[in-house]
């Protein structure tokens, strides 16, 4: 072997070595790229999963919020009957206490025009509430409020506006009433008003009075419960 040959062979080997070095470099770059891609893909999956979970959580939260709102509204509607402005709520009813005065017939018509009727007193509790209310509004003797009780249909038979008869154990006549006094109207007294100044301690504050007299009135209608 000549030296030149040997040299050339050595050169070739070196070049081959370099080539093989370049090859392995490319391979490891590819591996790194692949690894990076895999990592990226994994990251993308994780991000997607997380954002999906986040979206789901938000959706669930919104659903829970809506449900809570609906239940709250249900509760308010069921437990709190409401009355329009100008009406007082008590029990399941709304009451309107007028400040102007009309005769009994006109008073009834006016109440009907408000989606109500003249008040019917169905319990001691309701009488107590009304007596207390009107007691604070009355400033002069026998200047009180019409209620939905009359014997104008049948003399001596007291009927409420729904035609139900007056229950004698739920009557709250003031002493010596009803007296069918003819001093104000010769036809006597066929309609009932209630209330004494400051309220009646024994709740007895009903008077029969001429239906033609203009007085204030109490209208009653059912409270809205949603
Ligand atoms: C609200 O009440 C209604 C009837 O009372 C009922 O059908 C409905 O399921 C209730 N809604 C909720 C969210 O409780
Ligand atoms: C009330 O008095 C009038 C007039 O005197 C009379 O016509 C009427 O029958 C009396 N009513 C009752 C219930 O007695
Ligand atoms: C009359 O009222 C009393 C006391 O509230 C009650 O016990 C009774 O059942 C009522 N009678 C009628 C016929 O409604
Ligand atoms: C009230 O109206 C009734 C019929 O609706 C009538 O018979 C009666 O005479 C009227 N009374 C007064 C005082 O206007
Ligand atoms: Ca009533
Ligand atoms: Ca009277």
What is the Å distance from ligand 3's center to 170 Cα? Answer: 7
Q: Is 70 in the pocket of ligand 1 (CB under 6 A)?
A: yes
pLDDT, residue 179, reads 97
Residue nearest to atom 14 of ligand 3 (CA): 167
Residues with CB under 6 A from ligand 3: 167, 169-170
Which of 33, 59, 79 terminates a domain? The answer is 79
Tens digit of pLDDT for each residue in 61-77?
Answer: 999 999 999 888 777 66
Across all residues in the chain, what is the average pLDDT? 90
Whether this model's pTM surpasses 0.85? no
6 and 40 share one domain: yes
Identify which of 70, 71, 76, 225 to mutate to test ligand 1's pocket (most ligand atoms within 8 A of the CB).
70
Q: Is 105 in the pocket of ligand 4 (CB under 6 A)?
A: yes
What is the Å distance from ligand 2's center to 16 Cα? Answer: 138
Using pLDDT thresholds of 50, 70 and 90, give the confidence band for residue 132.
very high
Tens digit of pLDDT for each residue in 176-205?
Answer: 999 999 999 999 999 999 999 999 989 999
Q: Is 180 in the pocket of ligand 4 (CB under 6 A)?
A: no
63 and 107 share one domain: no
| pLDDT(210) > 80 | yes
Tens digit of pLDDT for each residue in 68-117?
Answer: 998 887 776 666 778 999 999 999 999 999 999 999 999 999 999 999 99
Domain range for residue 29? 1-79
Lowest-confidence segment of 32-36, 95-99, 213-217 by average pLDDT: 32-36
Residue nearest to atom 2 of ligand 1 (CA): 74
CATH for 216: 3.10.100.10
- Ion ligand 5 neighbours, Cβ < 5 Å: 120, 122
73 and 100 share one domain: no
35 and 68 share one domain: yes
Which of 32, 56, 79 terminates a domain? The answer is 79
- Comparing 62 with 10, the larger pLDDT belongs to 62
Q: What is the per-residue burial (b if ≥16 Cβ within 10 Å, else e) of 3-42?
A: eeeeeeeeeeeeeeeeeeeeeeeeeeeeeeeeeeeeeeee
Paired tokens of 111 = 């109440």
Number of structural domains the chain divides into: 2
């Amino acid at each position: 072997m000549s030296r030149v040959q040997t040299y050339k062979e050595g050169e070739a080997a070196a070049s081959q070595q370099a080539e093989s070095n370049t090859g392995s470099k490319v391979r490891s770059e590819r591996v790194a790229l692949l690894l990076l891609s895999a990592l990226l893909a994994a990251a993308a999956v994780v991000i997607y999963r997380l954002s999906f979970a986040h979206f789901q959580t938000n959706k669930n939260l919104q659903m829970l919020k809506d449900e809570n709102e609906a239940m709250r509204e249900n509760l308010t509607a069921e437990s709190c009957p409401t009355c329009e402005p100008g009406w007082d709520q008590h029990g399941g009813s709304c009451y309107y206490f007028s400040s102007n005065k009309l005769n009994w017939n006109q008073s009834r018509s006016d109440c009907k025009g408000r989606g109500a009727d003249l008040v019917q007193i169905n319990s001691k509790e309701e009488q107590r509430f009304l007596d207390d209310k009107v007691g604070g509004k009355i400033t002069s003797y026998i200047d009180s409020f019409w209620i939905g009780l009359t014997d104008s249909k049948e003399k001596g038979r007291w009927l409420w506006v729904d035609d139900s008869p007056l229950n004698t154990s739920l009557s709250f006549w003031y002493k010596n009433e009803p007296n069918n006094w003819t001093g104000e109207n010769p036809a006597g007294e066929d309609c009932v008003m209630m209330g004494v100044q400051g309220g009646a301690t024994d709740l007895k504050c009903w008077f029969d009075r001429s239906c033609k007299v203009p007085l204030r009135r109490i209208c009653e209608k059912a409270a809205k419960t949603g």
